[in-house]
C-alpha cells in the first residue's frame, strides 16, 4: 500500500535509483519511497533466471523486462531501442561491462567531479577480486572480475592475439588510468550471475522499516508549487494519486527523466508550448544535446562451432576514439528474439561529436518519445568510424582459424549508453548543478546518466553507480532537508 507522504520519493528503481534509495535510507529517521514502473522481485531466489544469467540480455522483442523507444540513428534511418524496465533497470539486463570513466572524460564535468575527487567513490562501490590495492575497492557491494586469460572464449583469445600481433599493447587493468591497448573487460559477474545495483544494493536493505519499494507504479509527473517540488502524481487505474514529499529524486533514466521533467512543466519553453504543457520553469537543456556511442556492427561467419554461454564481451581494444568489441556469441543467442543469427564485431566511437535530442509526441506526450540521435552529423565522426571499420575488418581477416571474413556486413546502431539529457553544469543549457539539484526548483534532484555532461569514453554503468553512490552518501547528506516532523493529532 502506497503511503500518502514520504520524506524522500525516488522515481525509478533502476541502476541509480537502487543505489540512491539504499544509501538515503541508511538514515533510519528518514522515510524513503522508491517507485518503479516495471516488475520487481524481493530476493535473489525470487529473481527471474534470465535476469540473473549474465550470458542473457533479455531485451529482445516482447520482453517483459524492457521498454522500447522509437529511434532515428540518422535523419534517414529508423529503428527501436530498448532499456530495462524492471527493478534494477537497465543495469539488471545489461552486458555487465563495468568499466570506469577515464580521467579525461571527467575533465568535462564540474571540478568537484574530477577523477581525483571521485576515485574514493569508484572504490567504494566495488569489490575487485583481481586487483587489490589503492585504485580498487575490496568491500563494496558490486563484485568486479575479469575472465582469466586461460579461460577466454576462443573469439576473445583470437582477438587478443591478433591485436598484440598488430602492435597493440596488452592492458592489464582497464579500470586503471593509462595508455590505450587491448585488455580484459571488468565484469560485474559472480559465478555466472549478473550482480547489478538492485541485487548489490537494494535487495539487502528491503527489510528496513523506513524504506518502501513499490513496483508496477508509474510516476506521471512531479507537482511543483511556488518553485518547489512538493509531490508526485502516480497512475492509479484510469486516474492519478498524489504522494507528497519533502524531496523528489528523479532516477528514471536518460529517456524518461527528461520526459518526466517536461511532463511536469520543466523544460525548454518552446518545446513545452509545442506539446501544450503549462510552463513551470524554463530550462532549455532538458532532453537536448544528448550523447551516446554510435556502434557499427560488422556481421561475419564462424568457420567452426564456438561455445555459447560466455559473457557477451570479454575483451576490448581501445585506440584513439575507437573501441573494438569482439562479441563472443551472435546477438540472436544472447538477446532472445533479436533474430541476429551471425556473430558481430562492434566498432564504437568513444568520443562522438554528434548531439541528439528527445522528441515528445505532441498528440500524446506521455507515450514513448523518439530518440533522435543525429549520428554521423559531424564529418569527423564519419571519418573515425570508417577508420574503425577498416581496422576491424583487417583484424577479422587475420583471425583466419575462426572467422570467415568474406561478405562482411555493416549496420549502424547504438551502444545504448544514452547520456546528458539533463546535463550537469552551470552554463545556460545545464539542467542540474554539480550537486544534481534541478536549477531553479527546490526539493528536486535528478540522479542518473541523464546528468552526465557527456557520455564517458567507456560504458557508463560503473560511472552511473559511482554517481548515485556519491549523491546518496555525501551530496545528499549536505543538502538533506530538515526531517519531516510527524504531525500528531491528539484524540478528542
Ligand atoms: C541492453 C543494454 C545493455 C547495456 N550494456 C551495458 C554494459 O555492458 N556496460 C555499461 O557500462 N553500460 C551498459 N548499458 C548502459 C547502462 O546499463 C545504463 O546506462 C545504466 O544502467 C543506466 O542507469 P540509470 O539509472 O540511468 O537508468 P535505468 O537503469 O534505465 O533506470 C531507470 C528506471 O526508471 C524506471 N522508470 C522510468 N520511468 C519511470 C516512471 N515514470 N515511473 C517509475 N519508474 C520509471 C525504469 O523502469 C527503470 O527501471 C546497457 C544498456 C542496455 C539497455
Task: Count CB atoms within 10 A of the CB of residue 169.
Answer: 13
3 state SS of 235? strand
- Please name the residue ranges forming H helices in 204-361: 253-263, 269-275, 331-334
Query: What are 125-162's pLDDT values in tens digits?
Result: 999 999 988 999 999 999 999 999 999 999 999 999 99
Query: Catalytic: 5?
Result: no
218 C-beta closer than 6 A to ligand 1: yes
- Please name the residue ranges forming H helices in 48-114: 49-52, 103-106
Q: What is the pLDDT of residue 132?
A: 87
Q: Which of 281, 417, 461, 469 is catalytic?
A: 417
pLDDT beneath 70, residues of the chain:
478-492
Cα–chain-centroid distance for residue 306?
30
353: cell is 561529436
Given 1.10.760.10, 3.20.20.80, 3.50.50.60, 3.30.420.40, which CATH number is that of 5-479?
3.50.50.60
412: cell is 549502424
Cβ atoms of 15 and 196 closer than 8 Å: yes
Which of 91, 217, 249 most suits a substitution to test ligand 1, by most atoms within 8 Å of the C-beta? 91
Q: What is the pLDDT of residue 477?
A: 73
- Shortest-distance Cα residue to atom 1 of ligand 1: 94
Which of 94, 174, 196 most suits a substitution to test ligand 1, by most atoms within 8 Å of the C-beta? 94
Q: What is the pLDDT of residue 378?
A: 95
233 C-beta closer than 6 A to ligand 1: no
Determine phi and psi for 11, rounding to 5 degrees.
Answer: -100, 110
11 C-beta closer than 6 A to ligand 1: yes
**Ligand 1 atom at shortest distance from the alpha carbon of 99:** 11
What's the gap in Å between 335 CA and the centre of ligand 1?
Answer: 16
Q: How far is CA 230 from CA 206, 219, 280, 282, 431, in A?
A: 25, 14, 13, 18, 19
251 C-beta closer than 6 A to ligand 1: yes
What's the gap in Å between 481 CA and the centre of ligand 1?
Answer: 28
Q: What is the pLDDT of residue 339?
A: 83
Q: What is the pLDDT of residue 489?
A: 35
What's the gap in Å between 13 CA and the centre of ligand 1?
Answer: 9
Task: Count CB atoms within 10 A of the CB of residue 256.
Answer: 29
51, 39, 366: which is closest to 216 by C-alpha? 39
Cα–chain-centroid distance for residue 484?
32
Q: What is the pLDDT of residue 413?
A: 97
Query: What are 56-109's pLDDT values in tens digits?
Result: 999 999 999 999 999 999 999 999 999 999 999 999 999 999 999 999 999 999
Amino acid at each position: 500500500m502506497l503511503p500518502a507522504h514520504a520524506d524522500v520519493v525516488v522515481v525509478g528503481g533502476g541502476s541509480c535509483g537502487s543505489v540512491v534509495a539504499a544509501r538515503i535510507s541508511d538514515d533510519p529517521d528518514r522515510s524513503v519511497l522508491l517507485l518503479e514502473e516495471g516488475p520487481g522481485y524481493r530476493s535473489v531466489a525470487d529473481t527471474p533466471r534470465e535476469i540473473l544469467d549474465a550470458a542473457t540480455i533479455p531485451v529482445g522483442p516482447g520482453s517483459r523486462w524492457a521498454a522500447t523507444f522509437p529511434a532515428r540513428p540518422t535523419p534517414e534511418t529508423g529503428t527501436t531501442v530498448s532499456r530495462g524496465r524492471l527493478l534494477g533497470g537497465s543495469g539488471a539486463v545489461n552486458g555487465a561491462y563495468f568499466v570506469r570513466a577515464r580521467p579525461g572524460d571527467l575533465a568535462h564535468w564540474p571540478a568537484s567531479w574530477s577523477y581525483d575527487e571521485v576515485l574514493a567513490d569508484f572504490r567504494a562501490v566495488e569489490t575487485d577480486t583481481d586487483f587489490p590495492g589503492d585504485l580498487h575497492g575490496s568491500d563494496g557491494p558490486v563484485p568486479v572480475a575479469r575472465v582469466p586469460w586461460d579461460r577466454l572464449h576462443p573469439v576473445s583469445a583470437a582477438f587478443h592475439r591478433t591485436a598484440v600481433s598488430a602492435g597493440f599493447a596488452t592492458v592489464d587493468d582497464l579500470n586503471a588510468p593509462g595508455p590505450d591497448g587491448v585488455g580484459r573487460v571488468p565484469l560485474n559477474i559472480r559465478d555466472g550471475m549478473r550482480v547489478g545495483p538492485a541485487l548489490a544494493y537494494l535487495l539487502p536493505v528491503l527489510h528496513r522499516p523506513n524504506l518502501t519499494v513499490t513496483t508496477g507504479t508509474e510516476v506521471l509527473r512531479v507537482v511543483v508549487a511556488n518553485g518547489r517540488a512538493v509531490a508526485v502524481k502516480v497512475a492509479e487505474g484510469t486516474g492519478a494519486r498524489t504522494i507528497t514529499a519533502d524531496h523528489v529524486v528523479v532516477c528514471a533514466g536518460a529517456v524518461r527523466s527528461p520526459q518526466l521533467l517536461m511532463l511536469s512543466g520543466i523544460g525548454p519553453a518552446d518545446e513545452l508550448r509545442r506539446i501544450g504543457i503549462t510552463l513551470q520553469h524554463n530550462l532549455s537543456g532538458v532532453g537536448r544535446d544528448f550523447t551516446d556511442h554510435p556502434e557499427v556492427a560488422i556481421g561475419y561467419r564462424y568457420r567452426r562451432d564456438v561455445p555459447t554461454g560466455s559473457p557477451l564481451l570479454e575483451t576490448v581494444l581501445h585506440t584513439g576514439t575507437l573501441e573494438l568489441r569482439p562479441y563472443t556469441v551472435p546477438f540472436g543467442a544472447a538477446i532472445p528474439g533479436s533474430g541476429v543469427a551471425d556473430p558481430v564485431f562492434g566498432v564504437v566511437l568513444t568520443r562522438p561529436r554528434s548531439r541528439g535530442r528527445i522528441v515528445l509526441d505532441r498528440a500524446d506526450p506521455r507515450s514513448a518519445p523518439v530518440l533522435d540521435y543525429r549520428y554521423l552529423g559531424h564529418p569527423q565522426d564519419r571519418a573515425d568510424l570508417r577508420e574503425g571499420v577498416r581496422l576491424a575488418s583487417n583484424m577479422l581477416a587475420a583471425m583466419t582459424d575462426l572467422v570467415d571474413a568474406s561478405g562482411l556486413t555493416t549496420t549502424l546502431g547504438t551502444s545504448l549508453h544514452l547520456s546528458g539529457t539533463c546535463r550537469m553544469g552551470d552554463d545556460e543549457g545545464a539542467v542540474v548543478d554539480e550537486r544534481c539539484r534541478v536549477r531553479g526548483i527546490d526539493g528536486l534532484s535528478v540522479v542518473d546518466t541523464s546528468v552526465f555532461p557527456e557520455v564517458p569514453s567507456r560504458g557508463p554503468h560503473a560511472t552511473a553507480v559511482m554517481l548515485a553512490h556519491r549523491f546518496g552518501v555525501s551530496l545528499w547528506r549536505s543538502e538533506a532537508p530538515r526531517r519531516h516532523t510527524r504531525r500528531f493529532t491528539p484524540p478528542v
